Amino acid sequence: MKRHFFWMLTMFVLVGSVPFADAESKQEAKSQPATAEATPQIEIDEGTREVLDKINAASPYEVPDLELKRDRNYAYTSRDVEPFRHIEPYKEHFLLQLEYTGPGRAIPEPEHVDTVKIGFIGPIMATVSVATGGKSHEEVLGVKMLQGCRLAIEEANARGGYLKRKVPFELVVSNDNGLWGASGNEIIKMAYQDKVWAILGTIDGANSHIAIRVALKAEITMMNSGDTDPTFIETNIPWVARCIGDDRQQGYLLVDYLYRKLGYQRVGVIRGSNRYGRFGVREILDGSRRLKHPVPIEMAYGLGSKDFSLQLQRLQQANVEAVVHWGDAADGARILNQMRVLGMKQPFYACDRCLSDEFLAIAGDNAEGVVCTYPWDPTRQDPKYLAFRQAFQERFGEEPETYAAHAYDGMNMLIWATQGAGLNRAKIRDVLAYRSKRWKGVTGDIPLSAVMDDHGEVFLAKRENGAWKYYSREDLEIPGR
């Protein structure tokens, strides 16, 4: 059944929701007529075509009659690590698709555009910020993310740009400087001044949360490819999507491996004192407790610390059988080295950030045997990934890594949605939200959940004989799902 709603100031809202051409642009448009009737030469599956038909058939005062997705459970959580699993909850959140019931779908494309702008926000310049735990430590990751986006935009332009209008895509770049609230200012600038149609970013959990709340007010789609904070998608914001497996899913796999496969009883945790460390281990702590192996000790450290003797002594005193680290690569490597100096021989498990050249350079031979969670398998011989890898090497002279690869996938998803939906922010959001097919990305298949989170497969990577070997849940023969 179609739902009807009215607004007293409908036209005012419509004009303010999406960028329009000004009077001068409209005058120039006489020499550049819109070609809305042209059919883009892009892959539009049957499900997406049906979504577009229903969106286009709805009047400005109607919500399109689209069937909402419903997931079986949240984030593929194993039954015995679900919270309150012994009782029937009155309501379960994040299973039914978030619906956008506001205006905007009836706004036509602007009559004149020189380029189709898509925004990028990420930490690409070193700064100092309380929000990021002092000195910036994520700009290396942000630069990789930007490279992946640039390659996606350049390839799209080589294929003809925005096909409906035969104009190029343009990447509008903003730095996420880590200052509290500054990311919101950048979203406002891109949405209203630069007039981008969608945005990709960012990495830091706190800044991402601020950015998406501003995106909600601006009514613009925001794709995230670098923030693995499990709570990022738990904000009930229908304009948000993520194309990387989060710490919840990676944490569940690690918990199952530690207790179900290896049979550990006492696992200690050491983590960074920032939001990434605090929220990253949350599911490990909860999952351990629900599997009746509560973590006996959790130690935090200041980012960039050199001496971890206090934390390691406490872990020793707790008689832990294994150590899980959640934090940046350099910190993790120094912790591992100091463990070995102290004679601590416990196996070392870490988050995906520690699977990096920086970690290996600092840890040296101690890296052998380390196991990291990871959101994808970069060693698979997939033609699409191999083509991306070659193109990335030719463009930037180096191997792509996880932040570049996931940003490349996320930007291509935004480009695809823009090509199919046209220059309309609400429709771009709808095309992504109601996509039923898995996105065939270079990082693997990306199925979007009801809340537009990546529910694709995650992996464990083990350092064996000087190389990372990647294992899926099936490879490891881990029960639990």
> In this structure, what CATH number is given to the domain that contains residue 267?
3.40.50.2300
- Residue 291 and residue 182 in one domain: no
Q: Is residue 479 part of a domain?
A: no
Q: What is the mean pLDDT of residues 190-216?
A: 94
- Residue 325 and residue 398 in one domain: no
Mean pLDDT lowest among 21-30, 373-382, 437-446: 21-30
Q: What is the mean pLDDT of residues 34-41?
A: 44
What three-state secondary structure class fits 175?
A: strand
Q: What is the mean pLDDT of residues 358-366?
A: 98
Query: Sheet of 322-326: strands edge to edge?
Result: 298-301, 267-272, 322-326, 348-350, 371-374, 459-464, 467-471
Query: Which pLDDT tens digit goes with each residue over 420-431?
Result: 999 999 999 999
**Residue 354, token pair as written in the block:** 């520690």
- Residue 229 and residue 309 in one domain: no
Q: What is the mean pLDDT of residues 183-208?
A: 94
- Residue 58 and residue 185 in one domain: yes
Torsion angles phi and psi, residue 315, rounded to 5? -65, -40
- Residue 213 and residue 275 in one domain: no
Q: Is residue 15 part of a domain?
A: yes
pLDDT at 42 over 50: yes
Query: Which pLDDT tens digit goes with each residue over 141-188?
Result: 999 999 999 999 999 999 999 999 999 999 999 998 767 678 899 999
pLDDT at 85 over 80: no
Q: What is the mean pLDDT of residues 207-232?
A: 95
Mean of all residue pLDDT scores within the chain: 89
Q: What is the mean pLDDT of residues 55-69?
A: 92
pLDDT at 446 over 60: yes
- Residue 267 and residue 325 in one domain: yes
Q: Which domain holds residue 357?
A: 248-374+459-471
**Residue 418, token pair as written in the block:** 């823009």
Percent of the chain with pLDDT over 90: 78
Q: Is residue 274 part of a domain?
A: yes
Q: Using CA atoms, how far apart are residues 39 and 173, in angstroms rounded to an integer?
A: 29
Amino acid at 158: A
Higher-confidence residue of 24 and 158: namely 158
Q: Is residue 77 part of a domain?
A: no
Pairing of strands 444-446, 221-224: unpaired
Q: What pLDDT shows up at residue 129? A: 55
Pairing of strands 439-441, 467-471: unpaired
- Residue 276 and residue 342 in one domain: yes
Q: What is the mean pLDDT of residues 224-248?
A: 95
Q: What pLDDT shows up at residue 481? A: 55
Q: What pLDDT shows up at residue 87? A: 82
- pLDDT interval class at 282 (50, 70, 90): very high
Q: What pLDDT shows up at residue 128? A: 60
Q: Using CA atoms, how far apart are residues 43 and 81, in angstroms rounded to an integer?
A: 39
Q: Is residue 480 part of a domain?
A: no
Check residue 84 and report its DSSP letter.
T
pTM of the model: 0.89
- Residue 348 and residue 399 in one domain: no
Q: Domain count for the chain, please give it.
A: 2
pLDDT at 2 over 60: no
Torsion angles phi and psi, residue 175, rounded to 5? -90, 135
Q: Using CA atoms, how far apart are residues 214 and 209, in angstroms rounded to an integer?
A: 9
Q: Is residue 93 part of a domain?
A: no
What three-state secondary structure class fits 156?
A: helix
DSSP collapsed to 3 states, 256-269: HHHHHHCCCCCEEE
Q: What is the dihedral of CA 181, 182, 187, 193, to 10 degrees?
A: 130
- Residue 190 and residue 115 in one domain: yes
pLDDT at 12 over 50: no
pLDDT at 321 over 50: yes
pLDDT at 460 over 80: yes
Q: What is the largest CA-CA distance in the chain?
A: 77
pLDDT at 34 over 70: no
- Residue 286 and residue 183 in one domain: no
Element (H, E) at 255: helix 247-255
Q: Is residue 142 part of a domain?
A: yes
- Residue 356 and residue 296 in one domain: yes
